[in-house]
Amino acid sequence: MRSRNALRGMVSSLLLQFVTMVCGILLPRLFIGTYGSAVNGTAASITQFLGYIALFEAGVGGVVRAALYRPLAQNNLAAVSSILRATDRFFRRIACIFVLYAVVIGCVFPLFVRKDFDFLFTFLLVLIIALSTFSQYFFGMSRQVLLQADQKRYITSDLQILTVILNTALSVLLIRLHAPVHMVKLGTAVIYALRPIVLRVYVYRKYKPDPNAVPDTSAIAQRWDGFGHHTAYFLHTNTDVFVLTVFSGFVSSLQIADVSVYTVYYSIVSGVEKIVAAFSSGVEAAFGNMIAREETQTLQKNFAVYEYFSFTLTTLLFTCAGILLQPFIAVYTHGITDAQYARPAFGILLTLAEAVYCIRIPYNNVTLAAGHYRQTRNGAFIEAGINIVLSLVLVVPLGLEGVALATLAAMVFRTIQYAVYLSGQILHRSILYFFRRCAIAGLTAGLTVFIHHLLPASTPLNYLQWALYGIRTAAICGILLLASSLLFDRPALRVLWAIFKNSIKTRSACK
């Protein structure tokens, strides 16, 4: 059951990320073509600024998931109801704070873009974009955490897939009709506001939590141990746009349109990162269940396979992304002249940063599944500090490339810190296993790039040519990865293949 739930969650999450990436690439191109890079950059900046309310979560989501693993494993619904009630209270307080925060942002943000848009235009855009976030905190966040802890992430993923498709269809229609940008964003806000309400109804009918349960505040009392981890992730996804937005008003070499350039690159690279993360969907809950049951040998065996698979997938996807990103950007932004989208150095740095982030996913997931928030929080604060300080120092001389370099440096530090901690404190093995995997991944990526440059060069002029170009690149990298697996990781490859076959048989039997 545990493996089947993990597989089902992985498949649903993978499909979600694929749909999100495709829609996330389609919509910005239509949006920029109709409303311009400045409007797209402004909308992206507003979304990021409103997202800063997530800092108030203080890491509650991860801490509550860890607290729910044991009562869910023991089928203790009374304890689950108590934890859920306390969590619900906490997130509703954040929703109330968010209302005030959104009004403040609506008043302050127009100052950053006053050269391009008037106050009312920006103020209304802020309030409209804020609607879906308020609904998420007020109705759905605690329910989402419960489903994730119970290895039912596929429920939230399936619901997100539906809303992403509906939003894309409605947005494309409105953009094609040249509707005002506020109407397009309002349609998005309404669709995404409905999702947490549906989620709340589902959880109520499925789990029947006791609405009168005494809130168990002990779970969220540990939120400050998770605050560092939450802050580091938050800054990983938000620092760059914040710095670029603020400095666009003071540095002559930066414009609000550069935020649009950043978001176009980031939407593609983060889409690849989310695909890698999708394969880990539900895995944290599975490892948390193993740790709760004290299945030490099972934990070690499964982590070795998980680590091998994650490294292999990260190497394949990000090596291809590094080679294919600029050709895709050239096709994607053809005809757009209001901003400079050809930024190869920036693309490489951003790709490397997200690749390093994906390398750390297995170490992060198992460490947090064990509930070791307090033991690893200082590293999270250091990562956040590296990201902020280097971004502020490098943004003026290097612009986009500077913030990407700062993110890369922070990612490298934190990934090594996680690997060292997990190896020594939870798995009790040598850190050399981690560096060995890094060396194999680096060698494979380097050989792929080398062989790629030996082949006849061609510049894709359309999406079909780019796809064929991508197939050739993926084939080269895939062959090299298979060869390295046969040479260095044959036992893990055999186990992974056996797990895959057993999962297929189990799914066939269930049908």
pLDDT in tens, 52-69: 776 666 567 767 777 787
Burial (CB count within 10 angstroms: exposed 0-12, middle 13-18, buried 19+), residue 224: middle
508 pLDDT above the threshold of 70: no
Instruction: Convert the pLDDT of each residue in 275-299 to its tens digit.
Output: 888 777 667 667 777 776 767 777 7
Q: Which residues lie closer than 8 Å to 267 by C-beta, 6 or more apart?
A: 21, 24, 25, 28
What is the distance, to the nearest Å, from the Cα of residue 358 to the centroid of all Cα atoms in its chain? 10
Residues 400-428, mean pLDDT to the nearest whole number? 91
Residues 437-450, mean pLDDT to the nearest whole number? 94
pLDDT band at 236 (very low <50, low <70, confident <90, very high): low
Residues 310-320, mean pLDDT to the nearest whole number? 95
* % of the chain at pLDDT higher than 90: 30
498 pLDDT above the threshold of 90: no
| Nearest Cα to Cα of residue 90 among 55, 67, 57, 65 | 57
What is the distance, to the nearest Å, from the Cα of residue 221 to the centroid of all Cα atoms in its chain? 26
**What is the pLDDT, as a whole number, of residue 408?**
95
Instruction: Convert the pLDDT of each residue in 4-25 to its tens digit.
Output: 656 676 677 778 888 888 888 8
Whole-angstrom distance, CA of residue 189 vs CA of residue 196: 12
**What is the pLDDT, as a whole number, of residue 184?**
93
Burial (CB count within 10 angstroms: exposed 0-12, middle 13-18, buried 19+), residue 19: middle
Count CB-CB contacts under 10 A for residue 101.
Answer: 19
Q: Do 470 and 491 touch, CB atoms closer than 8 A?
A: no
Q: Do 254 and 391 touch, CB atoms closer than 8 A?
A: no
| Nearest Cα to Cα of residue 50 among 97, 119, 89, 114 | 97
> Over the Cα atoms of the chain, what is R_g?
23
Complete DSSP assignment for 414-480: HHHHHHHHIIIIII---THHHHHHHHHHHHHHHHHHHHHHHSPP----SHHHHHHHHHHHHHHHHHH
Q: Do 192 and 133 touch, CB atoms closer than 8 A?
A: no
Give the tokens for residue 380: 């999270």
Q: Which residue stretches of 109-214 are H helix?
A: 119-135, 141-149, 153-176, 181-207
Out of 177-186, 437-446, 499-508, pick the least confident. Answer: 499-508
Alpha-carbon torsion, ordered 85, 90, 91, 95, to 10 deg = 130
The residue with tokens 């060995």 is 436
Residue type, 258: D
Whole-angstrom distance, CA of residue 260 vs CA of residue 341: 9
**What is the pLDDT, as a whole number, of residue 128?**
93
**What is the pLDDT, as a whole number, of residue 137?**
82
510 pLDDT above the threshold of 50: no
pLDDT band at 252 (very low <50, low <70, confident <90, very high): low
Residues 331-348, mean pLDDT to the nearest whole number? 88
**What is the pLDDT, as a whole number, of residue 313?**
94
Q: Do 343 and 266 touch, CB atoms closer than 8 A?
A: no
pLDDT band at 157 (very low <50, low <70, confident <90, very high): confident
**What is the pLDDT, as a whole number, of residue 141?**
78
What is the distance, to the nearest Å, from the Cα of residue 178 to the centroid of all Cα atoms in its chain? 31
pLDDT greater at residue 476 or residue 85:
476
Q: Which residue stretches of 211-360 are H helix?
A: 218-221, 223-247, 256-278, 283-292, 296-332, 344-359
Average pLDDT across the chain, whole number: 83
Q: How far apart are the first and last CA of the chain?
A: 15
222 pLDDT above the threshold of 70: no
